[in-house]
């Protein structure tokens, strides 16, 4: 259910607003809005297929783009590339 709701939000809102909604309502407990810039960078890097790029998240941990995409369930935000 969360994935289809995220897809709907992506279609209707700006990416930033869709991410805010997704992190707050498709996760329990909700993910803080301080993760929005991390999610945006991970999406941008994912769209470039730079899956192993390391991003420091707000708690000081360092994760790959792939780990962030998977952990925050950001797949609906990735561009579909044929």
Structural domain including 21 reads: 2-76
**pTM to 2 decimals?**
0.88
Q: Is residue 81 part of a domain?
A: no
pLDDT-derived band of residue 10, with 50, 70 and 90 as boundaries? confident
What confidence score (pLDDT) does residue 1 get?
42
What confidence score (pLDDT) does residue 13 get?
87
CA distances from 13 to 7, 20, 55 (A): 10, 10, 25
Q: Higher-confidence residue: 80 or 44?
A: 44
Q: Is residue 68 part of a domain?
A: yes
Nearest 5°: the CA angle 70, 80, 31 is 30
Q: Please tell me what DSSP assigns to residue 80.
A: P
Q: Is residue 26 part of a domain?
A: yes
What confidence score (pLDDT) does residue 82 get?
41
Number of separate domains in the chain: 1
Q: Could you give the 3-state DSSP secondary structure of residue 13?
A: coil
């Amino acid at each position: 259910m969360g994935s289809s709701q995220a897809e709907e939000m992506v279609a209707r809102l700006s990416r930033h607003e869709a991410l805010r909604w997704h992190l707050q309502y498709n996760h329990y407990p909700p993910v803080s809005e301080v993760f929005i810039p991390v999610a945006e960078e991970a999406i941008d890097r994912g769209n470039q297929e730079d899956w192993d790029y390391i991003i420091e998240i707000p708690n000081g941990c360092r994760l790959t783009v792939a780990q962030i995409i998977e952990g925050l369930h950001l797949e609906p935000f990735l561009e579909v590339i044929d």
